[in-house]
Amino acid sequence: MSMTNQELRKVGLKVTLPRIKILELLDRCPEQHLSAEDIYKQLLEQGEDVGLATVYRVLTQFEQVGIIERHHFENNYSVFEMRKELHHDHLVCVKCARVVEFTNPRIEQEQHDVAVEHGFTLTGHSLYLYGVCSLPACRAAADIVKTGD
Amino acid sequence: MSMTNQELRKVGLKVTLPRIKILELLDRCPEQHLSAEDIYKQLLEQGEDVGLATVYRVLTQFEQVGIIERHHFENNYSVFEMRKELHHDHLVCVKCARVVEFTNPRIEQEQHDVAVEHGFTLTGHSLYLYGVCSLPACRAAADIVKTGD
DNA sequence: CTAGTTGCAAATCATTTGCACTTGC
DNA sequence: GCAAGTGCAAATGATTTGCAACTAG
């Protein structure tokens, strides 16, 4: 809990109940990608008295100071996760919504080269691969699906 | 105009005024990435009597039959473009919103490899690079921006 | 003729904002 | 004490949907 306090103070945010709880929640499920709603519901379930608006505000602040990352998948809402030390991209199962993280330095390098080639200074990027994963249930659907280019 | 008719019939859609006009509009600006609003406004300007809802419905249908592609950039709305023969990704200027298309076979290959590695059958992917382009106006801002990982 | 389409208005849904009320420091 | 933070309700803005009128085949 004091580690959490440290982190918040370090980025100039007051240490408040909602912020502590949200940070703990994200910390506890490092492999999950939670939406604002998800976080809101879980907090309610564990008896906290927070508003959805606060969850959004806190998540936005956390993102701005770099504590967490926001991802826009192909749906229409965002998911959040603690910022990891090393950058990674996502492989998302379109059947079961499972998310696998991966790192590929060659892709990173190519991205950089492409940007330079076109006179851009990269500020960020997003790479999401969508597919059908190897779970039996999902597998069944994979056959009628053509491999993307 | 008859080519347009052909294309529509081929995918089993009735040849209606709104569909023809929207298709023509997208065809005429192959390099642009238009939002539903953009298309709606342009149609109104050129005197057509269409509803925004129809624009959305038609675009969704076109996407489903593969005539056009939908992109979700980091904003909260989508842009559409005619489906090109060869696949390409996007480089988006965060200052002026200019969009540059590019193709990189090595990235494509790596993506495929990553999917296989994790037991996924790829169905699609989205890669967007965000940065500051080389226009003088945008350039000014590039200096205070750090290069992504 | 009649199933597919359309325009309009009302409905959704994720996210944001105004505001009066707390709380951290 | 006071600025920063919060909850709630109302506002947004993109996209969707219900429905009665309309049109392509």
- Asked whether residue A67's C-beta has any atom of DNA/RNA strand D within 7 A, the reply is no
| B72, B87, B149: residue with CB nearest A149 | B87
Cβ distance A63 to A70 under 8 Å?
yes
Q: Which nucleotide is nearest to A57 (CA to C1')?
A: C16
Domain count, chain B: 2
My answer on whether B66 and B128 are in the same domain is no
B91 lies in the same domain as B77: no
Give me the domain span that covers residue A96. Answer: 86-149
> Using CA atoms, how far apart are residues B149 and B146, in angstroms rounded to an integer?
9
- Nucleotide with smallest C1' distance to residue B8 CA: D24
Both structure tokens of A111 = 């991205």
pLDDT digits (tens, 9 = 90+) for B56-113: 999 999 999 989 999 887 777 899 999 887 788 999 888 777 888 999 988 998 999 9
* CB within 8 Å: A127 and B131: no
In degrees, rounded to 5, the angle at the alpha carbon of residue A78 between the alpha carbons of residues A77 and A80 is: 155
In total, the C-beta contacts within 8 angstroms joining chain A to chain B are 138
Nearest CA to A81 out of A73, A91, A71 is that of: A71
CATH number at residue A48: 1.10.10.10
Neighbours of A28 (CB within 10 A): 10
Which chain A residue shows the shortest CA-CA distance from B117? Answer: A102
- Alpha carbon separation from B129 to A83, A85, A149, B12, B102 (Å, rounded): 19, 20, 19, 36, 10
pLDDT in tens, chain A (149 residues): 557 788 899 899 999 999 999 999 998 876 678 999 999 999 999 999 999 999 999 999 999 998 999 988 777 789 999 988 778 899 988 877 788 899 998 899 899 999 999 999 888 888 999 888 888 877 765 554 443 34
Distance in Å, alpha carbon of B68 to nearest chain A alpha carbon: 16
Residue A109 token pair: 């390098």
Q: How far is the CA of A8 from the C1' of D16 (A)?
A: 40
Residues A56 and A43 grouped into a single domain: yes
Q: Are residues B18 and B61 located together in one domain of the fold?
A: yes
**How near does any CA of chain B get to the CA of A79, in Å?**
13
Q: Between B119, B120, B145, which is nearest A121 by CB?
A: B145
